Amino acid sequence: MIKRSLTALSLIFIISCQSSPKNEPPASSQPTSGGLTVIKYDYKSGEIEKICSSQMKHSDERLSQLVKISSHDKNFENTIAALDQIMADLSDETSGPVFMYSVSTSKSLRKEAEKCDSELSQYFVGVMSRKDLYDSIVQAEKNSKKQKLKPEDKRLIEQVIKGFKENGVDLPDDKLAQVRTLKQKLATLETQFAANLNENTDYEEMGPSDIDGIPETVLARFQKLSGGKYKVTTKPTDYVQFMENAKNADARKRLQIKYENRAANKNTQLLTEAIELRRQIAGLLGFKSWADYRTANRMAGSASKVSSFLKSLKGKLAQRNKKDLAKLLAFKKSVEPGAKVVNPWDGTYLAYQLKKRDYTLDDEMIREYFPADQTVSAMFEVYSQILGVKFVEVKGADVWAPHVKLYEVRNKKDDSFVAHFFTDFVPREGKYGHAAAFTLRQGRIVNGKYQFPISSIVANFTAPSGDKPSMFSHNEVETLFHEFGHIMHQTLTQAKYATLSGSSVARDFVEAPSQMLENWVWDPSILKRLSGHYKDASKKLPDSLIKKMIAARDFNQGYFYTRQLLFGLFDYSLHTASGSLDPTALYKKLYKELTTIDPLEETHFPAGFGHLMGGYDAGYYGYLWSEVFAQDMFTRFESEGLLNAQVGMEYRKAILERGDSEPAGKLLAKFLGRAPNNQAFFKRLGIQ
């Protein structure tokens, strides 16, 4: 998942997570050390509020000067490029504080950052619905036709104008005012929704009979309570490992109920209100639905194409899912004679236990071969070989929490500095709850020089415990490769303008570069490089175990992709509905229809579905849509070599460096040497 920055074109409800570093990149080509501060995190009480207020005021002053330029004198540089710069500067100066909303160890600072985020989201909506600014852009476009503009300049003009139109600037004043007000309300709801999940501290107390089957290594990570009980939180790290291993069905059910009711009272209402606001906004903007509005300028192009795409998968996946579910039920009957159904709280447990039985795969045993430091270092070597870069840890850097690390990205060829990125892998209270790549500062031209990007992976992998280091499951290694793919997209950018920089691409393409890179963790030679037992790094993942892992890759994929389809159809249905609806009831209806399993009646899953309020609204289909292109891009590496540096550099230059400087379809065609197709995607799913 990506969290993109707010620039002139990414202003609609997407939270900005950029930083405001004052440091220039190291002048020396040698690794830096000793307290380097790349982003500030130790804000004093009230400081974030002052920064936000003063920077918005400063931007208003600059925008006023831009508008005052005479019509005759307005041109590309002083108006269109200037707007991009003003908005990007504002992001650079405020998004450091906003980033604290997701990572700060201080609850009071997180609350201040949340408030700042909400105010900025509303501010950007206001900017992009200003008619005087839009008129200035249109006039500058007319005047610039006499200039010899480069393709990237023309692309910026196109995207900026689209951005204004998407915000209703062509509407009559009364309707425009309504759209602006509704969007600002929506931005506030989305911020509150995410904050409620970040701050959620729900847990279930599990007694001795509840923890039967939980490995000692997992128990050691749960907080021990009095009376032999354990505190199992609803954070993904705890939740997944408990649901995979706990033999006690009642305990699993209790934890799943708790998990699917996170912030239920608050967030169900916020989501319901947001859907209604979106429906009203779409209507005012002349669209049939919010899905039609959101897809108009994406690769899909329309809601009807999204619908056709999802429906085309529905029947094909139903057969795969039916077979997978039959296997789970047969296994359940073998340990529980008389069992007639697979319950919602059974699926994860049965799938994991069946995988262990049929493939003799134990995630806890596999985890021992992926200690965090070893695996991350080896991953860097793989990316380095493919993309022609190297990664240097900045020792002693000033960071916001223990275990956070700062790295430089440098070109291997000449050791030139490229970017900074952070890794923040260990769970803690109040932290962003899933895995995402945050753009902390976008690469762009500033005063004739390239401003180096900064990003951060924020994830919640298993923390060190006792004498054991942090260790990854193979699934977490795959997540690591995925998120680091986003980091490369964000930091290797060479786009001239912030609006076109890094992962600021079409939402239904943004996952493709990272999804492609997940394939590397299924290659035997790569797995050997990534692994090294935590007690003896020279002991690599055994060949026999690797064969079993690869053989098991296709296991239960019908259920996995059916789940992705469920989320995509749920999101699409929410945002094409013509009237009011109950998100929880709709989800349960689709859940039953697609999985054929009866849902938990007392839960409210949509309240914890952060994507719906985090920029993926009417866009969750993009995970499946973009995988079509991910698997198609992978065919080049698959045929020419996973570590082929020439193909890697072509990929870097054609896809990663370009950002949104050209439409995604054109970038794909250049890299592939042909029009993209879906053959590799359907082959991966094992369906005809």
Task: Give the residue numbers marked as catalytic.
Answer: 483
Distance CA 635, CA 52 (A): 46
CA-based angle 114:36:41, to the nearest 5? 15
Instruction: For residue 449, give every residue at least 6 positions away whose Cβ sits within 8 Å of its Cβ, in sequence order, or none.
Output: none
Q: Residue 331 in contact with residue 538, Cβ under 8 Å? A: no
Among residues 410, 407, 418, 552, which one has the least CA distance to residue 493?
418
Structure tokens given for 505: 């691409």
**Number of other residues whose CB lies within 10 A of the CB of residue 563:** 16
Distance CA 538, CA 369 (A): 10
Distance CA 308, CA 186 (A): 29
For 393, phi then psi, to 5°, come to -70, 135
Distance CA 151, CA 157 (A): 10
Distance CA 260, CA 202 (A): 11
Instruction: For residue 203, give every residue at least 6 positions away whose Cβ sits within 8 Å of its Cβ, in sequence order, or none.
Output: 231, 232, 233, 234, 238, 258
Exposure string for 460-475, b = 16+ CB within 10 A, e = fewer? bbbbeeeebebbbbbe
**Between helices 236-245 and 347-359, what is the axis angle to 10°?**
60
Instruction: Quickly tell me which residue has 């329309």 as its tokens.
Output: 302
Q: Residue 149 in contact with residue 158, Cβ under 8 Å? A: no
Q: Residue 439 in contact with residue 502, Cβ under 8 Å? A: yes
Distance CA 372, CA 470 (A): 5
Walk across the sheet containing 223-224 and list its strands. 203-206, 230-233, 223-224
Distance CA 499, CA 494 (A): 12
Longest C-alpha distance within the chain, in Å?
83
- According to DSSP, the β-strands at 454-458 and 444-446 are unpaired
Whole-number CA gyration radius for the chain: 25
Q: Output DSSP code: residue 547.
A: H
The 3-state DSSP class for residue 175 equals helix
What DSSP assignment string belongs to 418-430? EEEEEEE-S--TT
Which helix H or strand E contains 34, and what residues bound it?
Answer: none
Q: Residue 252 in contact with residue 345, Cβ under 8 Å? A: yes
The dihedral built from the CA positions of residue 638, 652, 96 and 111, taken in this order, carries a sign that is negative
Distance CA 603, CA 622 (A): 26
Instruction: For residue 155, give every residue at least 6 positions away whose Cβ sits within 8 Å of its Cβ, in sequence order, or none.
Output: 500, 660, 661, 662
- According to DSSP, the β-strands at 449-451 and 417-424 are unpaired
Structure tokens given for 128: 């992009």
**Number of other residues whose CB lies within 10 A of the CB of residue 53:** 13
Helices and strands (H and E) in the chain: how many: 25, 11
